[in-house]
Amino acid sequence: MFVSRPVTIGSRASIRLTRTAFRSIATAPSFPFSRPRGAEPPAEYAKLRETDPVSKVKLWDGSQAWLVVKHKDICSVLTDQRLSKQRNRPGFPELDPGGKEAAKRKPTFVDMDPPEHMQQRSMVEPLFTRDQIDAMRPHIQKTVDTLLADMIKGGGKTAVDIVEKLALPTASYIIYGILGVPFADLEYLTQQAAIRSNGSATATAASMANQELLNYIGKLVDQRVAEPKSDLISKLVVEQLNPGHIQRDDAIQMAFLMLVAGNATMVNMINLGIVTLFENPSQLADLKKDPSLAPQFVEELCRFHTASAMATRRVAKVDIELGGKTIKAGEGIIAATQSGNRDADIFPNPDTFDMYRKRGAESALGYGYGEHRCVAEWLARAELEIVFSTLFQRLPDLKLAVPLDQIKYSDPSKDVGITELPVTW
């Protein structure tokens, strides 16, 4: 029975447990929410944007965190220096056992606060500037052309999985080339990366997969110490490790981050883009006629689908006020970028895909926001733009080999993705 009178514990403290407090704990919804179907965002986001944009949710281990769903509040969270990105701080919201295990590892810049964050980020950032990536576009184009040529050789009468033939190797080959990873190890590395990022994996399985990848990268670092080449790992070795700016395990962790961070996201965005075009045939027809529309298409794609929607999390270092609520020091915050990208205050008719959408001052949150915005954003944009300016030029008769309602999507409580996409032409 709920009571409203004080309950005294010992002689020095008293706690008043009210009906409201009990009700708040009991009714906090479980998070992550589930998508109702396909790639459609969870319905809870739209409801919370209207009724309770800063609210409590319950996580897998019984802990609670704040969920922020409006674009303006998300941007505030992601630029507030009173909030920390450090996963080893008490209260940081982890969404599954694998995440809790990963938080024990030595951090890289994505899990650091200033000034350490920018000190380490600047070690890899020069390889991902817009000018650097623009210089890589011919190589990316050649990679996509080669993969499509190999796919076309097999003929298009029998269904082909475009995830396996195009999306996965495009994303993997480019980043493996930047790192200096042998392409022969693609299958092994992809398998281990899938285990470590699978939210349903046990903490033990995720930890073992992480260690396998770290051991692999460690061997590459040692090889580059002995014989540097012209790749990212060699750059870290020559410019940072050898002069003593970082330790061996720092070089390993940063290379590991580059290996796994954006790979699955890029694969899924290619797959989601293909399906989205078939769901919007008039825009597909326009893109076929004019492949220079690819950047506009990619811009809208990265608003409409947020393939890495649960990574933007923080923990409060001090008490703050947000949306009329007090978030106390040590409480976790989840900034739901997927919800922010469907905020009608920023994007009119947000649930409609429109590559001709007029862009306002506020940007979509597909690459994050603030100082932790994706370091490889220009690489991701270049890969997507080249894929979508090329695919339907080479294969104008490309068709899905299954009905739209039979496409195999990722688990509805995980980041949105497509696991298999059979096509013909």
Residue of 308, 312, 389, 390 with catalytic role? 308
Domains of the chain: 20-424 (1.10.630.10)
**10-residue averages of pLDDT along the chain (425 residues):** 38 42 65 95 97 97 97 98 97 91 88 96 95 97 96 89 92 90 81 64 74 91 96 96 95 90 87 98 98 98 91 96 97 97 96 94 90 96 98 97 95 90 96
Whole-number pLDDT of residue 17: 39
24 is catalytic: no
Residue of 76, 172, 265, 390 with catalytic role? 265
Residue keyed to tokens 């475009």 = 162
Whole-number pLDDT of residue 18: 43
234-247 b/e with 16+ CB inside 10 Å = b?
bbbbeebbeeeebe
Residue of 76, 302, 374, 410 with catalytic role? 374
Whole-number pLDDT of residue 188: 84
Strands 422-424 and 399-400: antiparallel
Q: Is 106 left (phi over 0), alpha (psi -120 to 50) or beta?
A: beta
377-399 b/e with 16+ CB inside 10 Å = b?
bbbbbbbbbbbbbbbbeebeebe
Whole-number pLDDT of residue 197: 59
Whole-number pLDDT of residue 26: 55
308 is catalytic: yes
96 is catalytic: no
Whole-number pLDDT of residue 176: 87
122 is catalytic: no
Whole-number pLDDT of residue 16: 44
